[in-house]
Structure 1
Amino acid sequence: MTIKRSTLSVEITKKVQIDYLISFPDGYADQTREWGLIVFLHGMDMRGDNVTQLLNYGLLEAANEGNLSLPFVVAVPQCPSESYWNMERDAVTALIEELSANHRVDGRRIFLIGYSLGGYGVWDLAIHNPKMFAAIVPLSSGGQVSKAEKLKDISIWAFHGAKDDIVPLEQMTDMVSAIEKHQGNVRLTIYPDLGHDIMRETLSNQELYTWLLEQTK
């Protein structure tokens, strides 16, 4: 038997597809202005093939119900059933690139917000594309502590409920501590009386969007 070392080097084209909702801010008709882009990643229960169910969920629900000022283009993709956001990483990245190319998006102000499964997706996508985002906002989740250094140049505001019995608070605090060790720009808000579902409390807070407006690459 003869054993030889060899190398395979080929280019592979991958087709990606993802459904999404998009919202434009008041004043978008002004052709001279560019806008920040927020991409919102939903939780596990919203996976599927009916993107319209996201109209009354998360960020879009908060925008419709509250008196929020949201001077951003907002994109809300839907993760397919039986998939996870890390498996849709290429699709979400391609979506951001397409929106940036075809709409008046300021490439220096691209933001990610995600809850639960979507929070894990936020950490994952930012770790793999750290130069793409000016800021990220993960809710009720944790990330890869060993790769925290990749996030040191991204502004981060994380949120978690102290009584979360689905994702332990330690997953979030461990990630935040790891980023702090690399002198990253990270802040953490812990709700002492809330559990896993902190979306309404967080996404209806105008202070979050005011903070996002201050972030740029």
Structure 2
Amino acid sequence: MTIKRSKLSVEITKKVEIDYLICLPDGYLEETREWGLIVFLHGMDMRGDNVTQLSNYGLLEAVNEGELSLPFVIAVPQCPFESYWNMERDAVTALIDELSANHNVDRKRIYLIGYSLGGYGVWDLAIHNPEMFAAIVPLSSGGQVSKAEKLKDISIWAFHGAKDDIVPLEQMTEMVSAIEQHQGNVRLTIYPDLGHDIMQETLSNQELYLWLLEQTR
């Protein structure tokens, strides 16, 4: 899989720009089929203006290890300094639209994965664009419980560490319970011995990607 750097600049109601890395799966250039798209949202410490620092972080670190079979187009945008993913919502959705229009992406198989700050971003983006995503995977985060009904038609697999002292486990369990009350398709994995940093444990699990492959709009 080859990782490339790019920048998106578009006019919506205002001009939005976002730097991102894109990783194309093995066989992408040889095969004409459409691929699922995973957008990965990073945590707070990786905000900035040097997107290359994400090339061996999170999902791309898992890719670089070479032990996973990831038949997806993968996009990793960077959130600017002093910003949050809910403030970059238009940029991320514009990025998804651009990738869907210009790459062999199956619009029925668009997925969001996010850790910590990125996990909050995953909840937020899915709540505001529930028709866009087939599945979301929030890690170490919580969402807007009052808007949980908007997520009832999206497949969700959430992850959290029981010993998380940065984002209390209750934030995740309350969100999951709220979705369950609306008969949503949600599952939660709790690591009993882990704290906030659960990225490697979660993203190196091939079962997660096999599950994603089963999810479609």
Counterpart for residue 129 of structure 2: 129
Distance 2:66 2:189 in 1: 21
In structure 2, list runs of 5 or more residues that go unmatched.
Answer: 1-11
Counterpart for residue 139 of structure 1: 139
In structure 1, list runs of 5 or more residues that go unmatched.
Answer: 1-11
- Could you report, residue by residue, the CA deviation over 1:167-187 in whole angstroms, capped at 9, with x for unpaired residues? 000000000000000000000
Instruction: Provide the alpha-carbon RMSD of the alignment.
Output: 0.8
3-state SS in 2 of match to 1:56: coil
Q: CA deviation at 1:32?
A: 2.1
If the length of structure 2 is used for normalisation, what is the TM-score? 0.94
Distance 1:138 1:65 in 2: 22
Spell out the pairing of 1:32-181 with structure 2 (5 A cutoff): 32-181=32-181
- Could you report, residue by residue, the CA deviation over 1:12-36 in whole angstroms, capped at 9, with x for unpaired residues? 8311100000000001013420000
3-state SS in 2 of match to 1:17: strand
If the length of structure 1 is used for normalisation, what is the TM-score? 0.94
Distance 2:15 2:183 in 1: 38
Question: Larger % of strand: which?
Answer: 2
AA aligned opposite 2:129? N
3-state SS in 1 of match to 2:194: coil
Q: Give the conservation status (yes or no) of the 8 Å contact 1:163–1:192.
A: yes
- Could you report, residue by residue, the CA deviation over 1:89-130 in whole angstroms, capped at 9, with x for unpaired residues? 000000000000000000000000000000000000000000
Identical amino acids, percent of aligned pairs: 89
Distance 1:36 1:196 in 2: 28
| Larger gyration radius, structure 1 or structure 2 | 1
Q: Give the conservation status (yes or no) of the 8 Å contact 1:158–1:187.
A: yes
* Count, aligned residues: 206
Distance 2:176 2:117 in 1: 18
Q: CA deviation at 1:56?
A: 1.0
3-state SS in 2 of match to 1:74: strand
Tell me which stretches of 4 or more aligned residues in structure 1 moved more than 6 Å.
Answer: none
Q: CA deviation at 1:160?
A: 0.0
